[in-house]
Amino acid sequence: MDALGTMFSDLISDLTAQPVFYLLSFVIILSGLMVVTLKNIFHAAIFLILTLFSVAGIYILLHAEFLAAVQVLIYVGAVSILMIFAIMLTSELGSQRIRQSNEQVLVGIFVCAGFLIAVFGSLQNSVWRVSPDALPGNNILTLGKLLMTDFVLPFEVVSIVLLAALIGAVVLARQEGS
């Protein structure tokens, strides 16, 4: 199992990582644009699933295998399905005629361009102290140990947050008077 893991990480070494990264980012950016611009909100949800899958690929490139699995399980498996359920429950599927974007498209483009210029400017000018070390080989084991020792309090708090969200959703969506 461990040998398989090292073989896998050798496979996605820096030599092959570069083209895979560019392919994944191309898919992410293209389908992300589809998500925010498509007229049909259902198609936008399908492209959202594609984006989330590609982000899981980026996590694998970054040697965060557990996070990639979490991404596929929670985002692709749960959140997107919830979105599609909500779309089907609320808007008629043949709603392509309805305009999906408001009058702020120009403002939005300006805001995004300003944001990108600011971020890229600061990225160009900042120096990162890149560490020469590699991630620990047994990533998931370390992650589990950390979650159960150093980060046990946030871990429990987050479970309470999930419980609160669950109860809140049930209370909100309940039919009044039944």
Q: Which is nearer to other proteins, 11 or 70 (CB)?
A: 70
Q: Which is nearer to other proteins, 11 or 169 (CB)?
A: 169
CB of 165 to other proteins, least distance (A): 4
Q: How many residues does the chain have?
A: 178
Amino acid in position 161: V
Measured CA distances, 21 to 15, 17, 105, 136, 155 (Å)? 11, 6, 30, 22, 31
Closest CA relative to residue 11, chosen from 65, 67, 70: 65
- Residue located via tokens 């990225």: 123
CB of 64 to other proteins, least distance (A): 5
CB of 79 to other proteins, least distance (A): 5
CB of 171 to other proteins, least distance (A): 8
Task: Give me the torsion for CA of 159, 165, 167, 168, rounded to 10°.
Answer: 160
CA atoms within 13 A on the CB side of 178: 5
CB of 110 to other proteins, least distance (A): 10
Q: How far apart (Å, rounded) are the C-alpha atoms in residues 151 and 89?
A: 39
Q: Which is nearer to other proteins, 11 or 23 (CB)?
A: 23
Q: Which is nearer to other proteins, 11 or 158 (CB)?
A: 158
Q: How far apart (Å, rounded) are the C-alpha atoms in residues 138 and 165?
A: 33
